[in-house]
Copies of this chain bind each other. A is one copy, B any other.
Amino acid sequence: MMNQVTLIDSGYDCWLGYKRIADSALRESYAQYGSRFVVIGGEGDGDENGEGLGASSLLRTAGKELELALSSMLGSVTRERVSGAGMVVAGTFGSSSAFESLAGAYEPAELGEEGYVIHSSEEDGCIYLSAASERGVLYAVFHFIRLLQTDQQLEGLRIQEVPRNGLRMINHWDNMDGSVERGYAGNSIFYRDGRFIEDKSRIRDYARLLASAAINAISINNVNVHRQESKLITDEFLPDVAEVAGIFREYGVRLFLSVNYASTIEIGCLDTADPLDSGVAEWWKQAAADIYRYIPDFGGFVVKADSEFRPGPFTYGRNHADGANMLADALAPFGGEVIWRCFVYNCLQDWRDRKTDRARAAYDHFMPLDGQFRDNVMLQIKNGPMDFQVREPVSPLFGGLTKTNHLLELQIAQEYTGQQRHLCYLVPQWKEVYDFDTYASGAGSTVAEIASGRLFGRARGGIAAVSNIGDDLNWCGHVLAQANWYGYARLAWNPDLSAEQIASEWIRMTFGRDEELERIVLDMLLGSYSIYESYTAPLGVGWMVNPNHHYGPNVDGYEYSKWGTYHYADRLGMGVDRTVRTGTGYAGQYHAPVAERYESLADCPDELLLFFHHVPYLHVLHSGKTVIQHIYDTHFSGAEQAAELLAKWDTLASRVDSGRFEHVRERLAHQAEHACEWRDMINTYFYRKSGVADEQGRTIY
């Protein structure tokens, strides 16, 4: 059951803090349906059921959630044993004759393993929440609750939902010492001091939040798998892992582990990790068997290999297909999957070398292997070719790979987008990624169609993202950053949802019914990504942050580094020439007409200009401004807008509980101040270098 410490003011409840509906008319209209409910097959331990199948943990979860939500929002609720008129009826299609009436209106076969139906019957005054699977029923329940949380009419509901992405995953970068790599919300909720945290109640609350937005997979340890974490797949920790997997199972979430590619050496007794060595393959087969003994529905492995000093098949002169397939063969008998990351590049680059281009690396490494991976392998590809910058083009592996299962990887954690101290609602960025047309098979070949597997008829596909949660009471460090977590999940279910629609849902569920508040917070959220971009690195060039921790402005922070992350600014101009004609050739990794658009200085979109071209400061953008004036203008206006975010929030003092109000206020005040740092450092840097004065004569130092 959920953690009983529900501290509304802290934001701990996120979007599931079910408050009593204040509008009595609305509450009563909901009560027509919602004062009674039945979960068919979801009650107790099986033998108490009036009808249908024995109770399952997913249906038990659904029942408990319905009870909590309806009793909280409506004041009271009665749980029935059998279905009847004027109630909420939840269950799988085959479990009861109650659902027979739906058969005409819906096609259960189309719903698959996770789809569901929400139907209000005019005849018996019931609302049916039904699906082919129990997981579908759970999702229907959360959807139904959302309708109540967002003031929706319950009459005439004819909802049929099917997820667009099969895998909807969250990756944790948690270490067993309790730290979280790129974590900005406290420590791990899983580990402390090298062990699992004994009290698992927070994990249960987390699983519930994931299920509410239909996340169905999780990896619980950092892709950089250190010594202690390497042992998660051994008898030392598998009992704990199994316990955690059991909690997630009750919420329909499959558990994966990140594994150390060199496990055979580090925790086995072998002296090699060569994927073609039969001893290595045998070791992994045994390891898989051990894991499945503890966790029969174990999801599989997430692997970061040959990347940023992690071991991998390159050590043995093998390629990534060799490595991934070896692991895939070990997992296949049990139905497990390998998620193999494509974040592979030369991280010992020489800044003097303008030929090597990190942006090319993933494509150069993986395209030659297209079609060589097992069916239970999925390549996980970051949205852009670099590393979660505020603005990047989409990775050309999307549309490049056609014969390999793959996933889109996003980062909910705001590593380069304000680290949950700045407000930066990322759904607009993600929408641009999903909607990007690769033209891989003509117009309409969007990333959304590709990542799901649909465009190329792949059996597997989906989306993964790096978590932004930690053990801060409000989970995300910044209460408003919960919108990114929620938005990621909603978009994973349906990439056609708009950024505004998701934000509205989240605001109502999180802060309750208040039109003025909704208008203002919506405005803040929707503008925030653009505001953040405007006062940070300009025109797609990226980086310009402090090394290591990646927070705050530092124009040359990565300029003379080994990481392949340069802007090449001199006194005349800046940007990276990635054209085929005169540059690194990266632009040629795209299909026509995208390749041509990026190749062309005239056609390249302003926001990516410096990613693809080295131009003079006086180059004129499509906007009509010079590059240098654009930098000045966006940085002045960005800092102003950051200050306005604070001013807008301040109008809500009486509309938000003081705990969350003060917390958000403190973050926004920091952001406003820090945006001035960004403005001044970026403007000063480029003014000192270019010598071009601001047309408006504003203060540059």
Contacts and interface: CB of A to CB of B under 8 A. Distances in A.
Interface of A: 351-352, 546-547, 553-556, 560, 569-572, 677, 680-681, 684-685, 687-691, 701
A571 B701 contact: no
Contacts of A569: 688
B352 A570 contact: no
Contact of A554 (B351, B560, B688): B560
Contacts of A351: 701
Contact of A556 (B556, B570, B690): B556
Number of copies of this protein chain within its complex = 2
Contacts of A571: 571, 688-691
Given A351-B701, A570-B687, 11 more contacts: A352-B680, A352-B684, A553-B560, A556-B685, A569-B688, A570-B688, A570-B691, A571-B571, A571-B689, A571-B690, A571-B691
The 3 residue pairs across chains A and B that have the minimum distance between CB atoms: A570-B688, A352-B701, A571-B691
Contacts of A685: 556
A571 B690 CA distance: 7
Contact of A555 (B547, B553, B556, B690): B556
24 contacts: A351-B701, A352-B680, A352-B684, A352-B701, A546-B547, A553-B560, A554-B556, A554-B560, A556-B685, A560-B677, A560-B684, A569-B688, A570-B687, A570-B688, A570-B689, A570-B691, A571-B571, A571-B688, A571-B689, A571-B690, A571-B691, A572-B691, A688-B689, A689-B689
Contacts of A687: 570
A555 B687 CA distance: 17
A691 to B, nearest CB: 5
Nearest to A352: B701
Contacts of A546: 547
A496 to B, nearest CB: 43
A691 B569 CA distance: 12
Centre residue among A560, A688, A690 by max chain B CB count within 10 A = A560
Contacts of A688: 569-571, 689
A690 B690 CA distance: 10
A537 to B, nearest CB: 15
Contact of A681 (B547, B560, B680, B689): B560
A667 to B, nearest CB: 21
Contacts of A547: 546
A677 B350 CA distance: 10
Nearest to A699: B352
A690 B571 CA distance: 7
A688 B571 CA distance: 6
A685 B556 CA distance: 10
A145 to B, nearest CB: 49
A685 B701 CA distance: 19
Contacts of A684: 352, 560
A212 B554 CA distance: 48
Contacts of A556: 554-556, 685
A470 B546 CA distance: 30
A556, A572, A680, A691: most-surrounded residue (chain B CB, <10 A): A556
Nearest to A700: B352
Nearest to A677: B560
Contacts of A555: 556
Nearest to A690: B571
Most buried by B among A569, A570, A681: A570
A62 to B, nearest CB: 52
A677 B561 CA distance: 10
Nearest to A555: B556
Contacts of A681: 560
A584 to B, nearest CB: 16
Contacts of A701: 351-352
A352 to B, nearest CB: 4
A570 B700 CA distance: 12
Nearest to A688: B570
Contacts of A691: 570-572
